[in-house]
């Protein structure tokens, strides 16, 4: 799908939903233009496919923590299987579908559809685990559900996390999901009173989320707290769980304790039952509130991403690229120079030794022919050198930053000037556009704020901590 087609699709999708985001697409178009001009993205690529336009909630956690049960309860429908052994072995993306009947589609459907946040995920997986990406159906599936609860958002259920048996592919998808999501619920369960037993898992899950730039979108949920009724030790269990988290470096965070009414063990003591219910109702309502307003967080995220992309391009990518191109042109020039000298000297040497030929033919013809020949040889060498050094440099960048590698190849084509990118005019032209995009992003954020905060200063959407 070419960028133009994608803009149209996105506009169709967003037109009824959020008019501000409709305008934002125009800014992404401009960003794409700059990206294409510099060569940071290929002509078929667009920054709109580097983010998810859907509000996205993902549920991660240890196996049998009750992730699927929680999702079923939230949706009011048993769409996911649950059970006492490890049930889910792949990520399930649940989204709205018009069909009354729920449909299950293979992971390939997600990998190939640019409207989903897993577009081309197989490439990403292949990078960390060669070959695995081709088996994307083993990792991902898509389920549709006709329910207002899921309309306009995506919910992701995941396989139970087990640090021991995790393949690189799963880890790559997990971190992709954390990056793309507007809200991440990390589930643990209270049946493991000694969190030390799952230290590795904790370390991985918390480690993957802790340093995230928007840590506020991550909620840590201790599920199945009904199981503490038997020994009446809710506080102890929560405290030890939080201690284990803080040992992983997570000091402050959004911690919640809940359980599922219909899966819970019977609680005999009425006082305890009341206490547990109170805790659950209060925490559960905070979690579902966050889940319900995820569309708003998504709008902020998309605009923030516009600002981030522009800023990164201006402050990091362009300077890095300029440096890389400078070093490339230097290498070409020096090698050019050495080879040229050698050739010209050789040529003159030959000339002086073959004076005979020159004497026989008209000296005018010989000099025109030889100069022409020399020019052809020298420029062929020059073009070849440009190509060799460009490929060499691009290769070195490929692993670290694909966009820089792309841009090196793009800007070193033989018809591009050797020092074009060196002028301050080159970067200024792009920087001005990027500055504009950044200031637009800030204006959009204000517009969003105005949408959700009434002029009287009363917050329509109360931020809860």
Ligand X SMILES: Nc1nc2c(ncn2[C@@H]2O[C@H](COP(=O)(O)OP(=O)(O)OP(=O)(O)O)[C@@H](O)[C@H]2O)c(=O)[nH]1
Q: Using CB under 6 A as the criterion, which residues of the chain lie in contact with ligand X when the complex forms?
A: 63-69, 82-84, 86-88, 159-160, 223-224, 226-227, 259-260, 263-265
Residue 122 to residues 143, 154, 173, 245, 335, Cα–Cα distance (Å):
19, 20, 10, 32, 40
* 86 vs 334, beta carbon nearer ligand X: 86
**CA neighbor of 301 nearest in space, from 12, 21, 11, 9:** 21
| In the block, residue with structure tokens 């001009």 | 37
Residue 51 and residue 24: Cα distance in Å, rounded?
Answer: 13
Residue nearest to ligand X (CB): 160
Asked whether position 68 contacts Mg ion by CB under 5 A, the answer is yes
Asked whether position 75 contacts Mg ion by CB under 5 A, the answer is no
The nearest distance, CB 86 to Mg ion, in angstroms, is 8
Distance of CA 290 to the CA centre of its chain: 22
* 259 vs 389, beta carbon nearer ligand X: 259
The option from ligand X, Mg ion, none interacting with 73 (CB < 5 to 8 A, set by class) reads none
Cβ-proximal residues to 348 (8 Å cutoff; 6+ apart), any chain: none
CB burial of residue 261 (10 Å; 0-12, 13-18, 19+)? exposed
- List strands edge to edge, sheet with 183-189: 104-106, 140-145, 91-96, 154-157, 56-61, 183-189, 218-223, 254-257
The option from ligand X, Mg ion, none interacting with 223 (CB < 5 to 8 A, set by class) reads ligand X
The nearest distance, CB 245 to ligand X, in angstroms, is 18
The option from Mg ion, ligand X, none interacting with 329 (CB < 5 to 8 A, set by class) reads none
The nearest distance, CB 20 to ligand X, in angstroms, is 36
The nearest distance, CB 71 to ligand X, in angstroms, is 8
The option from Mg ion, ligand X, none interacting with 209 (CB < 5 to 8 A, set by class) reads none
Segment contacting Mg ion by CB under 5 A, of 25-33, 64-72, 115-123, 170-178: 64-72
Q: Which residue from 88, 189, 336, 393 is in contact with Mg ion, where contact means CB under 5 A?
A: 88
* 67 vs 301, beta carbon nearer Mg ion: 67
Q: In this structure, are residues 74 and 32 in contact, taking their beta carbons and an 8 Å threshold?
A: no
* 68 vs 406, beta carbon nearer ligand X: 68
Asked whether position 264 contacts Mg ion by CB under 5 A, the answer is no
The nearest distance, CB 157 to Mg ion, in angstroms, is 6
Residue 413 and residue 169: Cα distance in Å, rounded?
Answer: 35
- # of chain residues touching Mg ion (CB under 5 A): 4
Asked whether position 171 contacts Mg ion by CB under 5 A, the answer is no
* 73 vs 370, beta carbon nearer ligand X: 73
The nearest distance, CB 172 to ligand X, in angstroms, is 19
Residue nearest to Mg ion (CB): 68
Residue 213 and residue 303: Cα distance in Å, rounded?
Answer: 15
The nearest distance, CB 297 to ligand X, in angstroms, is 24
Cβ-proximal residues to 258 (8 Å cutoff; 6+ apart), any chain: 221, 222, 223, 225, 279, 280, 283, 284, 287
Asked whether position 1 contacts Mg ion by CB under 5 A, the answer is no
Segment contacting Mg ion by CB under 5 A, of 2-10, 61-69, 115-123, 232-240: 61-69
The nearest distance, CB 70 to ligand X, in angstroms, is 7
The option from Mg ion, ligand X, none interacting with 84 (CB < 5 to 8 A, set by class) reads ligand X
The option from ligand X, Mg ion, none interacting with 118 (CB < 5 to 8 A, set by class) reads none
**CA neighbor of 162 nearest in space, from 262, 271, 85, 251:** 85
Asked whether position 307 contacts Mg ion by CB under 5 A, the answer is no
The nearest distance, CB 292 to ligand X, in angstroms, is 21
Asked whether position 343 contacts Mg ion by CB under 5 A, the answer is no
Phi first, then psi, for residue 94 (nearest 5°) are -105, 125
Residue 456: strand pairing partners: none
* 18 vs 62, beta carbon nearer Mg ion: 62
Name the site residues for Mg ion (rule: CB under 5 A): 67-68, 87-88
């Amino acid at each position: 799908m070419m960028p133009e087609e994608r803009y149209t699709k996105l506009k169709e999708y967003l037109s009824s939903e959020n008019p501000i985001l409709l305008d934002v697409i125009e800014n992404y178009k401009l960003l794409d233009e700059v990206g294409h001009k510099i060569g940071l993205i290929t002509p078929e690529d667009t920054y709109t496919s580097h983010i998810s336009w859907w509000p996205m909630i993902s549920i991660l956690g240890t196996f049998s923590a009750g992730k699927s049960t929680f999702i079923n309860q939230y949706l009011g429908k048993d769409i996911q299987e649950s059970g006492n052994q490890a049930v889910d072995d792949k990520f399930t993306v649940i989204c709205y579908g018009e069909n009354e009947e729920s449909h299950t589609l293979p992971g390939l459907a997600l990998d190939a559809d640019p409207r989903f946040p897993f577009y081309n995920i197989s490439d990403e997986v292949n990078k960390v685990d060669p070959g695995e990406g081709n088996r994307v159906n083993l990792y991902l599936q898509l389920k549709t559900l006709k329910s207002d609860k899921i309309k306009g958002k995506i919910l992701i259920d995941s396989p139970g996390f087990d640090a021991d048996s995790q393949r690189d592919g799963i880890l790559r998808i997990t971190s992709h999901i954390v990056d793309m999501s507007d809200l991440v619920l990390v589930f643990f369960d209270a049946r493991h009173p000694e969190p030390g037993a799952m230290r590795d898992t904790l370390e991985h899950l918390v480690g993957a989320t802790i340093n995230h730039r928007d840590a506020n979108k991550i909620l840590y949920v201790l599920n199945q707290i009904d199981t503490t009724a038997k020994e009446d030790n809710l506080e102890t269990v929560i405290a030890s769980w939080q201690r284990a988290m803080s040992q992983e470096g997570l000091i402050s965070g959004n911690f919640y304790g809940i359980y599922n009414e219909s899966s819970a063990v019977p609680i005999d003591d009425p006082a305890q039952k009341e206490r547990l219910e109170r805790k659950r109702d209060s925490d559960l309502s905070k979690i579902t509130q966050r889940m319900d307003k995820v569309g708003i967080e998504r709008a902020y995220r998309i605009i923030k991403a516009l600002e981030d992309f522009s800023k990164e391009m201006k402050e990091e990518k362009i300077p890095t690229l300029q440096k890389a191109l400078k070093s490339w042109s230097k290498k070409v020039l020096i090698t050019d120079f050495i080879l040229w000298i050698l050739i010209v000297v050789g040529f003159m040497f030959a000339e002086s030794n073959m004076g005979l030929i020159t004497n026989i033919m008209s000296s005018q013809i010989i000099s025109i022919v030889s100069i022409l020949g020399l020019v052809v040889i020298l420029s062929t060498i020059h073009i070849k050198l440009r190509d060799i050094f460009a490929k060499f440099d691009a290769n070195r960048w490929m692993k670290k930053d694909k966009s820089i590698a792309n841009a090196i190849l793009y800007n070193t084509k033989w018809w591009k000037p050797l020092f074009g990118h060196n002028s301050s005019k080159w970067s200024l032209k792009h920087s001005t556009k990027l500055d504009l995009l950044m200031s637009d992003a800030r204006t959009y954020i204000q517009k969003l704020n105005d949408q959700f905060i009434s002029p009287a200063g009363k917050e329509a959407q109360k931020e809860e901590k």
